[in-house]
Structure 1
Amino acid sequence: MLFAQLPDDLFRPLASPSRAFNAALLLHLHRKVMGTSPDPVRKAELLAAIGDFSADWALDQQSDDEPVPVDPIERRSALFRRFLETGWLIERRERYVPVVDFDPEARLLLEELSRMERGETRSYGAAILDVLGSLESAIANPADRSEALGNAARAAQAFLGHVRGLAGAMRKIEERILHEEDMRAAFRLYFEDFVERHLISDYRTLHTRYNPFRFRSAIVREAGRALRDPLLIRALAEAILREGRAAELRVAERGVRADLTQILSIFEGLDRHLDAVDDVVARMERRIAAAVRYMDRPDSAGIERTAAALRAVGAVR
């Protein structure tokens, strides 16, 4: 139902030839102009911010398919209308003063785009401790901390998504390296994108002395014990019902069991996802090692070709 909630033309600026500029401008407005303000921004202030940002962006980065006026006043007005017509912005009046805000659903999407653009690195230790802490809190105090169980389940799912994304990102870089004909460019991809971005920032933490997965057994133990305790499940369900987060006790109990089962299955099956990451790393290391050995091997045929070329040059003289 995602597209039933979003304006019909919302993605048009992000799929256009000038999508890089449009995305950069939207993120700028979100972070610097409208992100921290609890109130709508005056239209005049927003137009000024658009003008200042677009003045620093080279005109040749705009496509001829989406012409933007050269005049600064006309240019900022055209950009404003583009976001207004596609549903990113909403304009209204407050006490006769024109104000502008992001569309509520568009703002949520922009939050995710901003997070992706920042390229945040997930701390495995913090993610696992978040799951364990929330789970232990719900178990220790089911009457008052039942919502912590839902938080633990969501944190576990987000953590699994990050681990799966790590393997996928590594495979994507692997494919780029394999299709790169320039050996120098391939090595640059390996060391800059593969090693620095993933082996150092993410993968390396899985093989340290203080491996964050040492807490996994505690999560599995606590989730399994809670699933086998009907009184605890009933206490958590009653709290959920009392707080208005379920319509009836049976539904609440089913939700408690679902959350516990999800946490348990994620951390019991984590080895499969880690093995997938290990496979990509081992494969890449073998290929890079083979490439290095090939580059270090003397090329006798090449030497002969070079000598023949030199002899030919000498004969001409």
Structure 2
Amino acid sequence: MDQESVAPLFDRLPDGIFRPLGVANNRRYWDVLSRVMATLWGEDARAPGEEVTKTIVVRVIESCLIADDPWEGELDTPAGIQSHNIYKTFTESGWLSVRRRGLVDMVTVKPRIGMLFTTLSDFARQEPEYIGGQVRSILLNLRSVNEDSTDPNACSAYQIAAKQARQCMAHIVNTGCRVQDLMDGLVELESARDFVHGFFTDFVERVYIADYSELRTRNHPLQYRSQIIEKTYELMEDPAAQDRILSWYTEQIGKGDAEKGRAAYQRDTGQLLRLNNIEDHLARLDEEIKSANHRALALIEYKLRAPKHLDKLISRACAALYDLEEGHPALPGDVHGSHWSDLVLAKPRRATRIQESTADVPVELTDDELAMEWLRQRIKENRNVTPIKLAQYVVRMLKDMPRVSSDEFEITSINDLCCYLNLLLIASRADAPQKMRRDDPISTKLRGVRIRFDDEGSTDNKYMTHRRFVVVREGA
């Protein structure tokens, strides 16, 4: 791996920044640090970089210890001395920065340390993300690259779109990983109540409903990815746009180096084009969701059907096998000393029953049964709308006119009503995108005419009330 591709993490952070988080009391230090950051440099408090006196910081730490001591009495040190020790640990490790102002010590949090704390907090919470806005933002950023060709900073939207595309792909992949982690943690719960609560709270509400279910609807947030791919290729094939983008990458990213600028541009372009292969990641996510559902249903069924404390009884029985001597009456016989084999624990096989064929008995239908069958066939035939029947109905209504509205259609039979409903359905499909209409079996049933809704008025006949649609001959 190239040394330049390795993130210079420890060049930007103090050497001992992770020392409080790597000791035995790491959870307690993180608890106190989170409370201090929320109180003094939180969203409704100071911004990172603003200073506060040492006395205030120690007082906040002491109030945290008094209100809810994370050490829970394990240390006999008084709260005042303990708060000073914790303050010293945070300053020596680099979480807090101290500057002398005359006779007063002023404490602050550097912006990059505040950014690290925010990143760790967001990672720890793992709140569900909604990628619909990101996908739409990618498309809008790509469109803005050419909207103002005179503004050189407009090309920065290309880099922003690439970063958002990388985040979307990572979100799809991470959702599958989150499903695995959640299920691995849930299956370790002993209580069926805790498992069911965790399954429907953590898995169904936070993962399935917030993320996955939207990806399986017609208006899913990834429906714009084809437009994103087309816009990316359009910018690549436009010499003027590509020159502007490369110039911006050379100046801003490569700092004058054309090779670095071109490499960064190609890397971001690859991130955008990766959206074209997102179906593979969605397929793997489908498998993870399906596997999680199967595991959950099997475990819930086992918890509900198994007798109380069955797991403990099985564990005791297995442990007792080591204490019993061979030949003991409690041990199964004729197993040759093997009590854990699949031969002993498996269910006995049952002999398959041979299916004997029976002779066909001719059945004679009565006149009433024949009449009912003929009536059912007539009902099915009258309600069946084939392309030929639909075309004949439209020709009969059009006559020699170039266009006809739904107000002028006549409905004289059940088949006419079914054809009329098909025309109404085809008109509703006209609002769908062109790519979806191309392969729609309903929209392709009728050729030679265009069917669309009229923006003004509605049709009110004796069967229904709906938006007025118009049937127009092609070329009219």
TM-score (norm 1): 0.82
**Structure 1 position 140 matched with structure 2 position 147:** yes
Moved more, 179-188 or 199-208: 179-188
**Structure 1 position 130 matched with structure 2 position 137:** yes
The residue number in structure 1 matching 2:109 is 102
Provide Cα deviations, 1:93-114, integer angstroms capped at 9, x if missing partner: 1244310112454322112012
Task: Give the SS at the match of 1:12.
Answer: coil
By how many angstroms is 1:256 displaced?
2.6
Provide Cα deviations, 1:176-229, integer angstroms capped at 9, x if missing partner: 344455444433332222112201222122123421111111111111222222
By how many angstroms is 1:76 displaced?
1.5
Q: Equivalents in 1 of 2:101, 2:169: separation in Å?
A: 45
The residue number in structure 1 matching 2:289 is 281
Please show how residues 150-169 of structure 1 align to structure 2 within 5 Å.
150-169=159-178
Q: Equivalents in 2 of 1:250, 1:142: separation in Å?
A: 23
The residue number in structure 2 matching 1:14 is 21
| 1:295/1:132 CA distance change after superposition, 3 Å | same
Percent of matched pairs sharing the same residue: 23
The residue number in structure 2 matching 1:57 is 68
The residue number in structure 1 matching 2:266 is 257
Q: What is the identity, as a one-letter code, of the residue corresponding to 1:20?
A: R
Task: Answer yes or no: is the 8 Å Cα contact 1:91–1:99 preserved in 2.
Answer: yes
| 1:248/1:290 CA distance change after superposition, 3 Å | closer
Among residues 39, 42, 46, which one is paired with 2:57 in the alignment? 46
Q: Equivalents in 1 of 2:294, 2:70: separation in Å?
A: 46
Among residues 279, 282, 301, which one is paired with 1:271 in the alignment? 279
Q: What is the identity, as a one-letter code, of the residue corresponding to 1:58?
A: D
| 1:77/1:226 CA distance change after superposition, 3 Å | same
Q: Taking CA–CA contacts closer than 8 Å with sequence separation of 6 or more, which of the two structures ends up with the larger relative contact order?
A: 1
**Structure 1 position 214 matched with structure 2 position 223:** yes
By how many angstroms is 1:33 displaced?
0.2
Q: What is the identity, as a one-letter code, of the residue corresponding to 1:130?
A: S
Q: Equivalents in 1 of 2:88, 2:219: separation in Å?
A: 53
**Structure 1 position 236 matched with structure 2 position 245:** yes
Q: Equivalents in 2 of 1:10, 1:122: separation in Å?
A: 29
Aligned residues: 295
Provide Cα deviations, 1:3-34, integer angstroms capped at 9, x if missing partner: 34322222121122322221122222223202
Task: Give the SS at the match of 1:202.
Answer: helix
By how many angstroms is 1:291 displaced?
4.4
Provide Cα deviations, 1:60-108, integer angstroms capped at 9, x if missing partner: 437x5xx4722x3212111101111222111111244310112454322
Structure 1, gaps ≥5 residues long:
303-317
Q: Equivalents in 2 of 1:178, 1:160: separation in Å?
A: 28
Task: Answer yes or no: is the 8 Å Cα contact 1:68–1:78 preserved in 2.
Answer: no
**Structure 1 position 175 matched with structure 2 position 184:** yes
Task: Give the SS at the match of 2:105.
Answer: strand
The residue number in structure 2 matching 1:308 is none
By how many angstroms is 1:118 displaced?
4.0
Q: What is the identity, as a one-letter code, of the residue corresponding to 2:86?
A: L
Structure 2, gaps ≥5 residues long:
1-7, 311-476
**Structure 1 position 192 matched with structure 2 position 198:** no
Q: Equivalents in 2 of 1:29, 1:180: separation in Å?
A: 33
Q: Equivalents in 2 of 1:132, 1:287: separation in Å?
A: 38
The residue number in structure 1 matching 2:373 is none
Task: Answer yes or no: is the 8 Å Cα contact 1:143–1:236 preserved in 2.
Answer: no
Q: What is the identity, as a one-letter code, of the residue corresponding to 1:92?
A: R
Task: Give the SS at the match of 2:20.
Answer: helix
Provide Cα deviations, 1:217-242, integer angstroms capped at 9, x if missing partner: 11111112222223311022234456
Task: Give the SS at the match of 2:21.
Answer: helix
Moved more, 45-54 or 251-260: 251-260
Q: Equivalents in 1 of 2:27, 2:176: separation in Å?
A: 27
Q: Equivalents in 1 of 2:76, 2:108: separation in Å?
A: 23
By how many angstroms is 1:49 displaced?
1.4
Task: Answer yes or no: is the 8 Å Cα contact 1:43–1:98 preserved in 2.
Answer: yes
TM-score (norm 2): 0.56
By how many angstroms is 1:281 displaced?
1.0
By how many angstroms is 1:297 displaced?
6.6
Task: Give the SS at the match of 1:13.
Answer: coil
Q: What is the identity, as a one-letter code, of the residue corresponding to 2:138?
A: V
Task: Answer yes or no: is the 8 Å Cα contact 1:14–1:22 preserved in 2.
Answer: yes
Q: Equivalents in 2 of 1:49, 1:7: separation in Å?
A: 24
Provide Cα deviations, 1:90-149, integer angstroms capped at 9, x if missing partner: 111124431011245432211201222443321111111121111211233354201111
Q: Equivalents in 2 of 1:124, 1:190: separation in Å?
A: 23
Q: What is the identity, as a one-letter code, of the residue corresponding to 2:213?
A: R
Q: Equivalents in 1 of 2:224, 2:16: separation in Å?
A: 46
| 1:180/1:51 CA distance change after superposition, 3 Å | closer
